[in-house]
Amino acid sequence: MSDLFREVDEAMRVERMKRLWEQHGNSVIFLAAALIIGTAANSGWKTYKTHQAKQQTSSIIEALKSEDAPEKLEPLTTALKGPGKALVALDAGAMALEKQDFDKAMGYYDLIVKDKSVPQDLRDLALVQLVSVQLDHKGDMTGEELLKAIAPVATSDKSSWRSRGLMLSVLIKAHKNKDYKGALSDLALLSADQTLPPSMMTQVQALQEVYSYNLAHVETKE
């Protein structure tokens, strides 16, 4: 008797599968085809991106090897996208700084900051570089403008360059705004950072002493 029940149950399962296939067979075939095509497309896209990255790397290396590297790099800052563009523009900016062409350097860094195809950590680095040059060589910018510019990095716990951004905030507050209390507040945040490199921690401690003295001197005058 149990054998009979198993045979009936198996026949019913076969019948159900047959009906399901008749109703949804085309959809299953379409889904399977889509998965195959999707896998192939994904593989093709990865191959394309790898090829593109190799081409970009070759172009960058050739430009850096040439005697007129800055001129060779410049067209690449607009032709490339993403990390490749950022690295080229950062190199071009550094070369412009060596030649003391500060306006051109700021232009390269600003290009990276505004390009959303560039990864955020590289955009943050470019912003730190940009504000650093602005602080030293763009005298018409106010302390408030500089602080507003660096704020996205200095106040972000997610940024890899937060400590650099905070240090810039310190310098802007102390040397642009004579706000030693605000500078010391930022230095306190830096001194509490356990990941800070020893060399930078030494700088933080030295600045804390200097600005504490300056603050006391200002308060005595008042």
Kindly state the tokens that stand for 12. 């019913």
Kindly state the tokens that stand for 186. 């930022």
- Per-residue pLDDT, 43: 47
pLDDT tens for the 222 residues of the chain, in order: 434 344 444 444 444 445 544 554 444 444 444 554 455 444 443 443 444 445 555 555 554 455 555 555 565 556 556 777 777 788 778 878 888 989 988 988 998 898 888 889 889 999 999 999 999 999 899 999 999 999 999 999 999 999 999 999 999 999 999 999 999 999 999 999 988 888 899 999 999 999 998 888 776 665
3-state SS of 76-143 is HHHHCCHHHHHHHHHHHHHHHHHCCCHHHHHHHHHHHHHCCCCCHHHHHHHHHHHHHHHHHHCCCCCH
| CB-count exposure of residue 189 (10 Å: 0-12, 13-18, 19+) | middle
Kindly state the tokens that stand for 119. 């990864």
The answer to whether the predicted template modeling score (pTM) of the entire model surpasses 0.75 is no
For the chain, the structural domain boundaries read: 67-138, 151-222
Q: Which CATH number fits domain 67-138: 1.25.40, 1.10.3470, 1.20.1180, 3.40.1010?
A: 1.25.40
